[in-house]
Amino acid sequence: MSGKVFLVGAGPGDPELLTVKAVRVLQSADVVLHDALVSDGVLALVSPQAEVIHIGKRAGKKLLTQEEINAVLVHYAQTAQTVVRLKGGDPLIFGRAGEEMDALREAGVDFEVVPGISASMAAAAAAGVSLTDRRHASQVMFITAHREPGKKSFEWPAIPPHTTLAVYMPGSDYGDVGESLIAAGIEASTPCVIVASASQPSQQIRWSELRRLVDEETLPAPALMIVGKVARSAETLRDAGVWSEIERYGERVGKVF
């Protein structure tokens, strides 16, 4: 028996943000292998007849190595018709899907990727910022602050101007991230916003600047940091006078903003 593996993006946690296809696959699955970041609301959509297996990371400890996960995927594809590898966010952005797809290809297993809403998109939506606001950014760079064991410094790529940074897994030391980005050439006054548990009831949003990150209290994981001129709060925009012309226009046409 040779089944099919679906690498499904579970999105940021709100089950209403799943794609229609993701819901259909979850409801027809025979086996679901999920990460720790997949919410209970999403798991509630899995078929009651499916075997649900948690293979994520808890308290920094992995239940399985990546090589073991690859082997488990291949094993279940040989014994079940529909196998779902359920990942938080989107499988193709910091989800290690590349390694799993390579393992499935090598084993001759059929697979399909079902995209999900990535953490950066969910965080931007929650904060009400446009990652590619043409007035401030011409590109977005996805980076991670997660470091391999033993590494004490970040190895940032060259960061061109007019770039919005989406920093995945900023960790518990925001100051370290801020200082390293400043050292990489980004202005210390650059605004940023940290969003924790985007789209979920426990969602929190913190507005700051790179130079102030050293004094910021760490928000609960999962969190994502958006850095760049686009990451300015409504209060900051109002203080900068950005709203004045909009308000004057509203007065002229009799609208309230």
Clarify whether 215 is annotated catalytic.
no
pLDDT at 158 (0 to 100): 84
Residue 35 known to be catalytic: yes
Locate tokens 């099919």: which residue?
4
Q: Which of 4, 14, 30, 35 is catalytic?
A: 35
> Do 204 and 166 share a domain, yes or no?
yes
CA distances from 131 to 180, 195, 204, 226, 239 (A): 21, 14, 19, 8, 21
Q: Which CATH number is 33's domain given?
A: 3.40.1010.10
List the domain range (segments joined by +) for residue 181.
120-239
Same domain, residue pair 205 and 126: yes
21, 30, 40, 57: the active-site residue = 57
Q: Which residue has the tokens 């991670």?
A: 144
Query: What's the confidence (pLDDT) of residue 243?
Result: 46
Q: Which residues pair with 209 in a beta bridge?
A: 191
Q: What is the mean pLDDT of each run of 10 residues along the chain (257 residues)?
A: 91 98 98 96 97 80 87 95 97 95 96 98 97 95 80 77 95 94 94 97 97 96 97 68 51 54
Residue 2: what pLDDT?
A: 79
**Cα dist. 248→7, 128, 135, 222, 232 in Å?**
50, 22, 21, 40, 21
Residue 51 lies in a domain: yes
pLDDT at residue number 257: 46
